[in-house]
A and B are shown apart, each in its own frame.
Chain A
Amino acid sequence: MNGVVVARGLQEALSDLSERPDATVLAGGTDLMVEMNRGLRRPRRVVAVSQVPELRQWSVANDRVVVGGGVTYTEMMTTPLAQAAPALAQAARTVGSPPIRNAGTLGGNLGTASPAGDTLPVLAALNAQIVVAGPDGERRMELEEFVVGVKQTSLQPGELIVRAEMDRPRGPQEFLKIGPRNAMVISMAGLALVVDRDARAVRCALGAVAAGIPRAREAEAWVAERIDWDNGAGVDGAVADEFGPRVAAACAPIDDHRSTAAYRRHAVAVLATRALKRAFPQGGADDA
């Protein structure tokens, strides 16, 4: 390895990256260092971005939440960010252990682009725009344009993930995931469900069950028509039960060392029904 640069500002990081297009960006290290320790990866150069203050910023407005690429899972779990994006906080809470959550970042989760990246379904369900910066300035895209395959992104050499800008809808949010235990678990299946009362919409995205992060758009539209939006009565139990398999139709899982396709499809259906029932508790309590 020829060099390590510890960038102390966004412009410095960007100019380092444009001068060294072969450099690998290091954020919290929870993915890259594992591969380096095992000898699976040996970057020629590293630009470390954990000391870039611009990437550590986040902000909360009435209808919008902006989270910098260097914001850690621990920070996502902390109010007021956790209150403004509860599903993001729930997802962050399921990642690794406290020291992992202290190090791992939203930008790192995006950059690794694993289908099992736990924040990614939340970003998809919150209609997030991913903002990247490069030599030619900023560009922004939907998550579906950013994550283009298993651990593949549309990030170009010299570009850096700067922030994600997401909706802050009025309504409940859920993130649920399945794994063999509660801590230190990589998702076998994950699901984010967001209710937007003003748009009368339910948005649902899936993790670890496809090459990308699919939205269950047909199931979303189907259930939105069956919710009693005006009277707050919520969702009929039979509708919630049927919602599960309809969401599962959006996944394209595989058998691998972590789980089987059949189990993942089953798990997604269970998670979808559970998330919808939690979002619309019996009696239709309005917890927006």
Chain B
Amino acid sequence: MPDPYWLRVNGADHEVADADLAESLLFVLRERLGLTGTKNACTEGECSSCAVLVDGVLTCSCLVLAAGAVGAEITTVEGLGDSRDGLSVVQEAFVDEGAVQCGFCTPGLIVAVHDLLETDPDPSDGDIREALSGNLCRCTGYGRILAAVHSAAATKRSQP
């Protein structure tokens, strides 16, 4: 078996031992570190249900070689919560606006919306559609998701 390696996920260091070096970051997060918030669907970058932040950059974790991510700061959906009940403003907006149906695409969307609102505090519908163009949702038709992003953006803008 290859030597173990370490990944930094949500501010903590995790040892990855007895792992095949060909494993994707998505696989390691879910199957070795037990972080199942990041979802596994297409494994080819088409759906963004596995989206995470790698050194602050929105990335499909299925397309990251886990052993190649040594030294990077990885943030998953589990690491985004910031308010008192553990949900971020974006997550609360998704709940309040009914933007979650089956929920499978939700973690990827949450990570992508966090990334969008980092750089654009007041995105238009077009900006949102562009930013989320890689996130496939087969339930909602995206209307409630758009509403949730606008709501989250407004909440964030109103915060000091």
Interface residues on B, range: 20 to 34
A57 beta carbon closer than 8 Å to chain B: no
Residues in A neighbouring B36, C-beta threshold 8 A: none
Name the A residues within 8 Å of B65 (CB-CB): 4, 26, 29, 33, 36, 46, 48
Q: Which residues does chain B contribute within 8 Å of A288, judged by CB atoms?
A: none
A43 CA to B20 CA in the complex, in Å? 12
Q: For the complex, give the distance between the alpha carbons of A4 and B115 in Å.
A: 29
A residues 218-276 touching B (CB-CB < 8 Å): none
Min C-beta distance of B86 to chain A, whole Å: 25
Binds B, one of A61-69, A95-103, A125-133, A206-214: A95-103
A26 touches B68 (CB 8 A): yes
- A103 & B59 in contact (Cβ 8 Å cutoff): yes
- Check A99–B133 contact: CB distance below 8 A: no
Q: How far is the CA of A34 from the CA of B145 in the complex (A)?
A: 28
Knowing A2-B2, A34-B43, A184-B134, say if A48 contacts B58 (CB, 8 Å): no
**0 or 1 for each of A110-133: is its CB under 8 Å from B? (1 = yes):** 000000000000000000000000
CA distance A7 to B22 in the complex (A): 17
In the complex, what residues of B have CB within 8 A of residue A103's CB? Answer: 59-60, 63-64
A249 CB → nearest B CB, Å: 35
* B133 in contact with A28 (CB, 8 Å): no
Q: B48 on the interface (CB 8 Å rule)? A: yes
Closest to A182 in B: B133
Q: Are A6 and B58 in contact (CB under 8 A)?
A: no
Contact call B68/A4, Cβ cutoff below 8 A: yes
Contacting pair B134 A33 (CB below 8 A):
no
Bound CA–CA A98/B111 (angstroms) = 12
Count of chain A residues near B, Cβ 8 A: 30
Whether, in the assembled complex, A42 has its beta carbon less than 8 Å from a beta carbon of chain B, the answer is yes
Q: How far is the CA of A181 from the CA of B76 in the complex (A)?
A: 29
Interface check B112, CB cutoff 8 A = yes
Residue numbers in A under 8 Å from B64 (CB-CB): 29, 33, 103
List the B residue with the shortest CB-CB distance to A8. Answer: B71
List chain B residues, Cβ under 8 A from A6: 68, 70-71
Residue-wise, chain A 75-116 has the 8 Å CB interface mask toward B (1 for contact) of 000000000000000000000111110110000000000000
Contacting A at CB under 8 A, from B29-63, are 43-46, 48, 51, 57-60, 62-63
Question: What are 12 A-to-B residue pairs whose CB atoms are below 8 Å?
Answer: A4-B65, A29-B63, A30-B63, A33-B65, A96-B45, A97-B133, A97-B135, A98-B130, A100-B63, A102-B59, A103-B60, A183-B134
Chain A interface (Cβ < 8 Å from any Cβ of B): 1-4, 6, 26, 28-30, 33-34, 36-38, 42-43, 46, 48, 50-51, 96-100, 102-103, 182-184
